[in-house]
Structures are given as structure tokens and as C-alpha cells.
Amino acid sequence: MEWVSKLNNGLNKTASGLSKNLSTVFKGKKLDPQTLEDLEDLLISSDFGVSISKKIVDSISKEKFNDFDTNKVREFLSKKVSEILKLRYLPLNTENNGDPYVILVVGVNGVGKTTTIGKLANNFVKKNKNVLIAAGDTFRAAAIDQLKIWSDRSKSEIITKPTGTDAAALSYEALVTAKEEKKDILIIDTAGRLQNKTDLMNQLEKIPRVLKKIDETSPHSVLLVLDASTGQNAISQVELFNKSCGVTGLIMTKLDGTAKGGVLVSIAERYPIPIHAIGVGEGIDDLQEFEPESYSRALLGLL
């Protein structure tokens, strides 16, 4: 897999990469308490969070390893992790009986929503889908210009309104247009907002509300974009965005850096929300389908 190597590139670039640290952990022959503690520390260092790290390590402490080696323990760990992630494996399916499939993209500021939309659109267009993008971030300066460039790059169409326009009104108009022009997919961008800002979250809720006036089943997907460098706060983001507009899928971006996004494992354990894709770079092709097994293996430094 191309993205696995990209992910591993990121991991390999840093001396504190999990895989490198694991080798030190398993230098000894026995899984003694110190080794288990080091292991727990390593998972914590990858943003797994305290409780799930403890849980995973506890499960390994019960396991008997007869003349195990580093790789064997890693394999075991990655299996544990992928068991959790597999529960949330579900590729995005945009079939909608000829009607536009509506995707609403939400998230905190700066996580990479606009870039992700550009890449998503590109992926769809490559599959011969007819894509319309709605530039719903009518708050941030130049967000519309940024998305215009991405629509050019991905050869998809875009509907815009001046900065300051009501995003819900724009979304409504976009869906009307998408239906008229028989688009396969409508992707709606939204302004970034912190999940604890009640007024901004209320504004966001308005978008699905008006979309339902045209198509009761829309939006068909509400994608929450998460930044891999985010720590435990990602859990609060899932919790509150889900409460506000019913998140149907997750995308984790910026996995090409040193951050490993281990919090995704915590989230997968807590919320029955599928993980669709991961972002591994700034290029237009750097959005990859999420694969639990490869992801877990990459997390643990296994190729």
C-alpha cells in the first residue's frame, strides 16, 4: 500500500517513532512489569490515551509468549489494535439512486477540512462522478478562494457566495442546483469551529435542517475531520459534533508528520462511527481509504 509507506515514512523520520522505541522495549526476554509499563508509556506517547493503553497492555500481560521476539509482540499488539479499528471499517459509499449524495464536512479550525474536500472531490471525479462543491466556509477570509483552487485542481464544480453569507442558505441553494444539474455528489464545506462554542454549533445544526427541506434523507454523510496532532481533545470533538449534527464518518488528516493519531483507537472503541479515510500529505492524491489492519501495523512500526 502506498499510504502505508507514506505513513511509515513519517514514523521513520522521527527518532521517537513507536517502532524504534518498541525495539528497546523488547530487548529483554520477559514481559516483566517494567516492560509492560514501558509498553504502556509508548502507547500513551502515540496519543492512545491512558485508559485504553492500560487495557491493551493488560491484555498482553495475560498472554503467554514462549520464546517471543520483538516482532511477535508487535504483531500481537497490532492485532489487538486492529480488532478495535476493524469495528469501524466502512468505506464511504456514495450511491444514492441517481439523486445527489450530500456530504457535509465539519470540524475544528485548521484540521484540514478544505484540503480534504479538494482531495475527496478529486477521488470522486477520478471515479467518473459528477461533483459539486459548496463553499460553505463563509467566515474565514479567503477560504472561498482556497476552495476554488481545489475545485480547479480536482475538475469539479463549485458554488460560492460572498464571505459573510449564511452558510445554510448557500447549502440549500447548492442542493437545489445539484438536483437540477443532476450531480452525483454534493460536498459542503463549513467554517471551522471549536466544539464548545454553543452558538457556532447551533449555526451548524441549521445546515442539515434546511437540507432536509429538499431531501429528507440528506445529508447522507456528515464527515468529521480530525487532525492527527490533536490529543485527547479529539474525543470531545467527536462527542460534541456528533451530538450537534450526527457524525456518520471520520477522516484523520496530517498523518505524514510525527503525530500518530493513536486517539483514533480510543474513539473507535467508544463511538460506533466509521473511519473512512486518512490524509497523508498535501498532494491531491494524499487522501487514502482507511484500512484498519495496515493502519494498526503502521502504528506499531510493522511493514
Partner 1 sequence: MFQGLQDKFGEILGNLKKRGSLKESDVKEALRQVRIALLEADVALPVVKKLIKDIETKAIGQEILRSISPAQMVIKIVNDHMIEVLGTKSEDINLKTSPPAIILVAGLQGSGKTTTVIKLAHKIKSKMNKKVLVASLDVYRPAAQQQLKILGEQADISSLPIIDGQLPLDIAKRSIKAGALQGTDVIILDTAGRMNVDEALMTELSQIHATVKPIETLLVADSLTGQDAVNIAKAFKERINITGIALTRIDGDARGGAAISMKSVTGCPIKVLGTGEKIDDLENFHPDRIVSRILGMGDVVSLVEKAKETIDEEDAQKLEKKILKGQFDLNDLRDQLRQMKKMGGMSGLMTMLPGISKVKKQMSQSNIDEKMLLHQEAIINSMTPKERIHVKVLNASRKRRIAAGAGVEIQDVNRVLKQYKQMSLVMKKMKKMGKKGKNINPEAINNLIPNQNFFKH
> Is residue 303 packed enough to be buried (19+ CB in 10 Å), middle (13-18) or exposed (0-12)?
exposed
* Residue 226, H or E segment: strand 221-227
**Does the footprint of partner 1 cover residue 202 (CB under 8 A)?**
no
User: Which is closer to partner 1, CB of 261 or CB of 292?
Assistant: 261
User: Closest separation between CB of residue 204 and partner 1, Å?
Assistant: 14
Q: Which residues pair with 289 in a beta bridge?
A: 277
Strands 157-159 and 249-253, sheet pairing: unpaired
User: Which is closer to partner 1, CB of 102 or CB of 277?
Assistant: 277
Q: Which residue has the cell 460536498?
A: 187
User: Closest separation between CB of residue 257 and partner 1, Å?
Assistant: 4
User: Which is closer to partner 1, CB of 55 or CB of 179?
Assistant: 55
Q: Which residue has the cell 495496515?
A: 294
Which residues 70-129 are close enough to bind partner 1 by CB under 8 A? 108-112
**Does the footprint of partner 1 cover residue 137 (CB under 8 A)?**
no
User: Closest separation between CB of residue 90 and partner 1, Å?
Assistant: 25
User: Closest separation between CB of residue 141 and partner 1, Å?
Assistant: 4
User: Which is closer to partner 1, CB of 116 or CB of 248?
Assistant: 116
User: Closest separation between CB of residue 173 and partner 1, Å?
Assistant: 22
**Does the footprint of partner 1 cover residue 258 (CB under 8 A)?**
yes
- Residue of 23, 198, 217, 232 interacting with partner 1 (CB under 8 A): 232
**Does the footprint of partner 1 cover residue 33 (CB under 8 A)?**
no
**Does the footprint of partner 1 cover residue 276 (CB under 8 A)?**
no
User: Which is closer to partner 1, CB of 12 or CB of 61?
Assistant: 12
- Residue of 32, 37, 41, 285 interacting with partner 1 (CB under 8 A): 41
Stretch that binds partner 1, among 122-130, 146-154, 173-181, 288-296 (CB under 8 A): 146-154
Number of neighbouring beta carbons within 10 Å of residue 180: 9
Query: Which residues, 6+ apart, have CB-to-CB distance to 94 below 8 Å?
Result: 101, 103, 124, 129, 184, 185, 220, 221
User: Taking a C-beta distance cutoff of 8 angstroms, is the pair 74, 302 a contact?
Assistant: yes
Distance between CA atoms of residues 212 and 90, nearest Å: 24
Distance between CA atoms of residues 84 and 80, nearest Å: 7
User: Closest separation between CB of residue 126 and partner 1, Å?
Assistant: 20
Which residues 42-71 are close enough to bind partner 1 by CB under 8 A? 44-47, 49-50
Phi, psi of 146 (to 5 degrees): -60, -45
Please give the span between the terminal C-alpha atoms of the chain, in angstroms, as a whole number: 10
Cα four-point dihedral sign 281, 283, 289, 291: negative
Q: Which residue has the cell 464511504?
A: 92
CA–CA distances in Å: residue 288 to residues 91, 140, 163, 180, 227: 11, 27, 31, 31, 15
Stretch that binds partner 1, among 173-181, 204-212, 255-263, 295-303 (CB under 8 A): 255-263
- Residue of 131, 132, 175, 263 interacting with partner 1 (CB under 8 A): 263
What would the x/- binding string for partner 1 be over residues 148 to 177, using CB under 8 A? Answer: xxx---------------------------
User: Taking a C-beta distance cutoff of 8 angstroms, is the pair 221, 101 a contact?
Assistant: yes
Distance between CA atoms of residues 28 and 50, nearest Å: 24
Task: Enumerate binding residues for partner 1 (CB under 8 A).
Answer: 10, 13-14, 16, 41, 44-47, 49-50, 108-112, 139-143, 145-146, 148-150, 194-197, 227-234, 236, 254, 256-260, 263, 282
